[in-house]
C-alpha cells in the first residue's frame, strides 16, 4: 500500500459526503500497483439522495429562476477553474488510470473549452414560430428535460463528462454524474471546483461506486428523465432495460473497432504518424482507436515495415516521466483480455510482427508492448473485438470496393481514418464507410463544435456540437388564439 492514501468524497446537494455505512473502494495506481486512494462506494440510498437533490434543484430554488446568461456565467467560471487546476486534475487522473501526465494535464486544460463553448450557446437556443392563420400564433419551445444521469467511463473522463455536464446545465437541467468504479478521483476532484464556482446545491452531484447498486439505481430512478452513457456495449445492453422503468431519453456512446484505410497514393510519413497516434496514443485506450489498419496491397509491406521500426522507438514506462510515450493499461482485466484474444488469433493464423506481450521488469504488470499483427482474414478476434489496448491488426485490400467492404465488416461503427492524396477518392470513400466520425489525412483530432457518436453497436445519439443542446431539451408546442374569436361549437363542421 502507498505510504499516504488520499481519501475522496462524493458531492451531493452541495455537500461533500461519504457513502452510507462508510463503504469505500480502493483506487489502484496501475504503474506501481499500490493503493493510492480510497473513494466512496455509493449505496442505493446515496444515489437516491443525489437524484432527489437534483430534482429539488430543478423544480425549486435559484436554478430554475436563472436566465440562460446567468447559467453561462457559472459554466465559464468552471472552465476557468479547470485551467487553473489542470496540474492537480492531471495528477489524480494519471495516478488513477496510468495515462501520461503530459496528456492528462493538457486534456484537463483543453476540456475547459467545452464549458466555454456551451456557455456561449446557453442563451442562443431559440424556438420557432411556424406559419399559421391570421387568428393563431404557434410557438415551438425547447425546455429542459429535468434530472440527467451521466455515466462516465474512466478514460478521458474530464472531457467525456464535460460533453454531458455542459450542455445539460446550459439548457437548465440538473445532473447526477456517476464516476467509474475503476477510476473515480478526477471527477471527485472536479466536484471541488464545482463547489468553488458556486452552483446552487443539487444542480451538479457526483457519486462513485459499482454498477450494482449505484448505476442500476441511478439509471432506473423514476425522477431521472435523461440518461447519457459512455462505456461498453455489454454494459449498455444491461442499461437499456433499466431505462424502461422511467422511460428516460437515452444516448449511448459505446465501443469502436475503427478502420484506418491507407490508399496507394497516401503520404506514408504522414499516415504513419496518424496510425501511431490512433492506436498507440493513450495506449490504445480510446473508443476511437484506429485499431484496424487496411493497407493497399502495393504499399502494405513498406507501410508495415515503417510501423514496426516506429514501434521500436516507442518508450513504455512511468506515466509521470515526460519522456514516456505509452504508460500502463488502466486495469489488469484489460491486459488479460488482450492476451487471450491475441493468442486465439495467432492460433487461427494471425502473425505478430511487433510486440505481442506484457513488459516485464517494471513495477507492476500492466504494461503491454505496442503490437502489430498481420491478418489474412477479418474474422480473427483481434480484428472483430474491441481490445482497448495497443494492438493494431493489419489487412490488405486490392481496390476501393474491397477497402470499403473490409472497413464496414464490423459490428462497430464509431470512427475511422482515410489517407489519400486524391481528395475526391477520399470523399467517395468517406460517404460509404460506416462511422460517426471520419478523419481524412489525419487522426485523433478533436473539436467541441464537431459532433461525435456511433452507428450500429457503437451506439446512438451525438455529443458535442450545437445540436447537442437540443438533446437535453423537450420540444413543446404552444398554439395561441389571437384573433379574439370565441371557440366554435365543436359539433358544427365548417
Please name every residue paired with 392 in a beta bridge, in sequence order, or none if there are none.
372
402 catalytic? Reply is no
Could you say which of 253, 369, 385, 463 is catalytic? 253
> What one-character DSSP code corresponds to residue 54?
H
CB atoms within 10 A of CB 2: 15
3-state secondary structure of 475: strand
DSSP string, 399-432: SHHHHHHHHT-SSEESEEEEE-S-HHHHHHHHHH
**Nearest to residue 367, comparing CAs of 311, 327, 310?**
327
Strands 292-296 and 391-397, bridge-based pairing:
parallel
**Burial of 347 by CB count in 10 Å (0-12 exposed, 13-18 middle, 19+ buried)?**
exposed
Are 361 and 385 spatial neighbours (Cβ–Cβ below 8 Å)? no
**Burial of 348 by CB count in 10 Å (0-12 exposed, 13-18 middle, 19+ buried)?**
middle
Q: Which three cell numbers stand for residue 370?
A: 505496442
Three-state SS for 109-170 is HHHHHHHHHHHHHCCCCCCECCCCCCCEEEEEEEEECCEEEEECCCCCHHHHHHHHHHHHHH
Q: Which three cell numbers stand for residue 249?
A: 431519453
Which residues, at least 6 apart from 57, have a Cβ–Cβ distance to it below 8 Å?
Answer: 63, 174, 200, 201, 202, 203
Known catalytic residues are 253
Amino acid at each position: 500500500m502507498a505510504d499516504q492514501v488520499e481519501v475522496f468524497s462524493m458531492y451531493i446537494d452541495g455537500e461533500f459526503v461519504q457513502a452510507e455505512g462508510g463503504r469505500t473502494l480502493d483506487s489502484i495506481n496501475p504503474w506501481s500497483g499500490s493503493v493510492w486512494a480510497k473513494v466512496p462506494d455509493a449505496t442505493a440510498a446515496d444515489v437516491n439522495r443525489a437524484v432527489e437533490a437534483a430534482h429539488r434543484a430543478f423544480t425549486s430554488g435559484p436554478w430554475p429562476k436563472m436566465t440562460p446568461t446567468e447559467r453561462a456565467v457559472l459554466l465559464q467560471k468552471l472552465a476557468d477553474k479547470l485551467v487553473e487546476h489542470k496540474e492537480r486534475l492531471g495528477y489524480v487522473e494519471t495516478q488513477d488510470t496510468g495515462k501520461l501526465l503530459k496528456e492528462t494535464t493538457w486534456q484537463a486544460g483543453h476540456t475547459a473549452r467545452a464549458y466555454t463553448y456551451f456557455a456561449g450557446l446557453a442563451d442562443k437556443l431559440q424556438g420557432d414560430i411556424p406559419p399559421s392563420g391570421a387568428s393563431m400564433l404557434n410557438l415551438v419551445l425547447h425546455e429542459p428535460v429535468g434530472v440527467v444521469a451521466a455515466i462516465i467511463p474512466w478514460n478521458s473522463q474530464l472531457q467525456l463528462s464535460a460533453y454531458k455536464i455542459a450542455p445539460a446545465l446550459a439548457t437548465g437541467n440538473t445532473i447526477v454524474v456517476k464516476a467509474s468504479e475503476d477510476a473515480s478521483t478526477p471527477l471527485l476532484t472536479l466536484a471541488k471546483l464545482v463547489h468553488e464556482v458556486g452552483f446552487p446545491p443539487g444542480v451538479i452531484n457526483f457519486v462513485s461506486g459499482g454498477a450494482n447498486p449505484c448505476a442500476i439505481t441511478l439509471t432506473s430512478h423514476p425522477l431521472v428523465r435523461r440518461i447519457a452513457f459512455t462505456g461498453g456495449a455489454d454494459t449498455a445492453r444491461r442499461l437499456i432495460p433499466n431505462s424502461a422503468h422511467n422511460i428516460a431519453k437515452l444516448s449511448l456512446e459505446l465501443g469502436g473497432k475503427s478502420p484506418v484505410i491507407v490508399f496507394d497514393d497516401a503520404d506514408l510519413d504522414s499516415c504513419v504518424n496518424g496510425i501511431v497516434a490512433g492506436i498507440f496514443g493513450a495506449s490504445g485506450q480510446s473508443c476511437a482507436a484506429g485499431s484496424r489498419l487496411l493497407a493497399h496491397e502495393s504499399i502494405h509491406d513498406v507501410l508495415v515495415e515503417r510501423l514496426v521500426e516506429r514501434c521500436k522507438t516507442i518508450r513504455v514506462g512511468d506515466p509521470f516521466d515526460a519522456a514516456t510515450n505509452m504508460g500502463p493499461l488502466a486495469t489488469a482485466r484489460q491486459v488479460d483480455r488482450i492476451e487471450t484474444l491475441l493468442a486465439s488469433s495467432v492460433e487461427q493464423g494471425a502473425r505478430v510482427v511487433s510486440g505481442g506481450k506484457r513488459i516485464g521488469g517494471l513495477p507492476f504488470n500492466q504494461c503491454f508492448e505496442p503490437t502489430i499483427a498481420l491478418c489474412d482474414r477479418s474474422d480473427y478476434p483481434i480484428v472483430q473485438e474491441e481490445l482497448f489496448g495497443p494492438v493494431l491488426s493489419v489487412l490488405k485490400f486490392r481496390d476501393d470496393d474491397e477497402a470499403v467492404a473490409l472497413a464496414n465488416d464490423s459490428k462497430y461503427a464509431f470512427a475511422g481514418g482515410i489517407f489519400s492524396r486524391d481528395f475526391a477518392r477520399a470523399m467517395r470513400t468517406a460517404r460509404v464507410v460506416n462511422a460517426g466520425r471520419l478523419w481524412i489525412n489525419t487522426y485523433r483530432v478533436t473539436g467541441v463544435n464537431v459532433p461525435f457518436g456511433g452507428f450500429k453497436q457503437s451506439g446512438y445519439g451525438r455529443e458535442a456540437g450545437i445540436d447537442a443542446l437540443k438533446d437535453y431539451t423537450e420540444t413543446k408546442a404552444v398554439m395561441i388564439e389571437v384573433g379574439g374569436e370565441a371557440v366554435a361549437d365543436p359539433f358544427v363542421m365548417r
